[in-house]
Amino acid sequence: MLFNGIDIKKDVTERFLRYAKINTQSEDGSEKVPSTACQHELARVLFEELKNFGIKDVEYDKEHCYIYARIPSNRSYKNKNGISPVAFIAHMDTSPESSGSGVKPIIHKNYDGKTIKYSKNPNLSLSPEESPQLLEEKGHDIITSDGTTLLGADDKAGVAEIMTAAKILSSKNCDIEHDDVYIVFTPDEEVGNGTAHFNLKKCRAKFGYTLDGEEAGELNCETFNARAAFIEFHGVNTHPGTAIGRMKNTIYALSDFINNIPKSMRPETTKNRGGFFHPLRIEADVEHSKVKMIIRDFDEKKMDDKCEKLKNIVKAVEKKHEGIKIDLKITDQYQNMGVIIKKHPELMKTSEEAVRLAGLKPFYQAIRGGTDGARLTFMGLPTLNLFAGMFNPHSKNEWASTRIMEYAVLTILNISSLA
Ligand SMILES: [Zn+2]
Residue 392 Cα, ligand 1 centroid: separation in angstroms? 11
| Residue 403, beta-bridge partner list | none
- Which residues belong to the active site? 93, 189
CB atoms within 10 A of CB 327: 11
Helix ranges restricted to H, 171-299 = 250-259
The alpha carbon of 394 and the centre of ligand 1 are apart by a number of angstroms equal to 9
What's the 94 CA to ligand 1 centre distance in angstroms?
8
Closest CA to 17 of 55, 45, 50, 53: 45
Ligand 1 centroid vs 249 CA: distance in angstroms? 43
User: How far apart are the CA of 190 and the centre of ligand 1, in A?
Assistant: 7
Position 176 scores a pLDDT of 94
Are 328 and 374 in contact by the 8 Å Cβ rule? The answer is no
> What crossing angle do the helices spanning 250-259 and 300-320 adopt, rounded to 10°?
140
List beta partners, residue 391. 399
Ligand 1 geometric centre to CA of 234 (Å)? 40
Domain 225-334 indexed as CATH 3.40.50.300: no
The whole-angstrom separation of Cα 40 and Cα 19 is 12
- What is the dihedral angle through the alpha carbons of 167, 104, 128, 406, rounded to the nearest 10 degrees? 10
207 Cα: distance to centroid of ligand 1 (angstroms): 19
CA 300 to mean position of chain CA atoms: 21
What separation in Å is there between the alpha carbon of 155 and the centre of ligand 1?
A: 5
Neighbours of 142 (CB within 10 A): 24
Looking at the chain, the domain(s) classified CATH 3.30.70.360 span 225-334
Write out pLDDT tens, residues 252-301.
999 999 999 999 999 999 999 999 999 999 999 999 999 999 999 999 99
Q: Can you tell me the distance from the alpha carbon of 13 to that of 161, in angstroms, rounded to the nearest whole number?
A: 9
Reported as type and span, the H/E element at residue 41 is helix 39-52
Q: What angle do CA 320, 326, 331 make, to 5 degrees?
A: 135
Distinct helix (H) and strand (E) counts, the chain: 9, 20
AA letter at 283: E
For every residue of 232-244, DSSP letters joined together read EEE-B---GGG-T
pLDDT value of residue 336: 95
Tell me the C-alpha distance between 176 and 415, whole Å.
11
Could you tell me the distance, in angstroms and rounded to a whole number, from the CA of residue 371 to the centre of ligand 1? Answer: 8
Which of 228, 244, 247, 227 lies closest to 236 in space, CA to CA? 247
Count Cβ atoms below 10 Å from residue 337 Cβ, excluding itself: 27
CB–CB of 92/44 below 8 Å? no
Q: Ligand 1 centre and the CA of 2: distance in Å?
A: 28
Q: How far is the CA of 214 from the centre of ligand 1 (A)?
A: 10
> How far is the C-alpha of 316 from the C-alpha of 326, rounded, in Å?
10
Type of residue numbered 66: Y
pLDDT score recorded for residue 209? 98
Q: Which residue ranges in the chain fall short of pLDDT 70?
A: none
Residues carrying CATH 3.40.630.10, the chain: 2-222+336-418
Report the separation in Å between the CA atom of 164 and the middle of ligand 1, taken as the mean of its atom positions.
Answer: 18
What's the gap in Å between 75 CA and the centre of ligand 1? 33
| Residue 372 CA to ligand 1 centre (angstroms) | 9
Class of domain 2-222+336-418: alpha beta
